[in-house]
Amino acid sequence: MVMDLNDPELEFSDLVYAYQSWVMAMINDEKLESEDKLLTAEITDDALNAMRFLPGEVTSAIETSLARVYDVDPEELASLLFPED
């Protein structure tokens, strides 16, 4: 189910969840060598849409906390999430 940005019921927490899901899927697929791949085009699309509305401080906090939880170097995580930067 793709996130509908025009849905009046959409809340800030939905945006955070979409971005957090993307970061966790990237960590799972790229760093944890998991057999089960989590990243889908839908998760990516939702996260990219959510990023348009989330302050940089929020996305940074999500990335930092998940990097800490999964013991991933924050700079390495940033390069996984945004390889073109």
pLDDT tens-digit series, residues 27-81: 999 888 888 999 999 999 999 999 999 999 999 999 999 999 999 999 999 999 9
Beta-carbon contacts of 64 under 8 Å, excluding residues fewer than 6 positions away, are: 74
Sign of CA dihedral 66, 15, 13, 17: negative
Q: How is residue 31 written in tokens?
A: 């760093």
**C-alpha distance from residue 47 to each of 5, 35, 41 (Å):** 12, 23, 10
Q: Where are the domains of the chain?
A: 12-81
Q: 3: pLDDT confidence band, cut at 50, 70 and 90?
A: confident
| pLDDT at position 37 | 93
Phi (first) and psi of residue 17, to 5 degrees? -60, -45
Residue 82 DSSP symbol: -
pTM of the model: 0.89
4 vs 61 pLDDT, higher one = 61
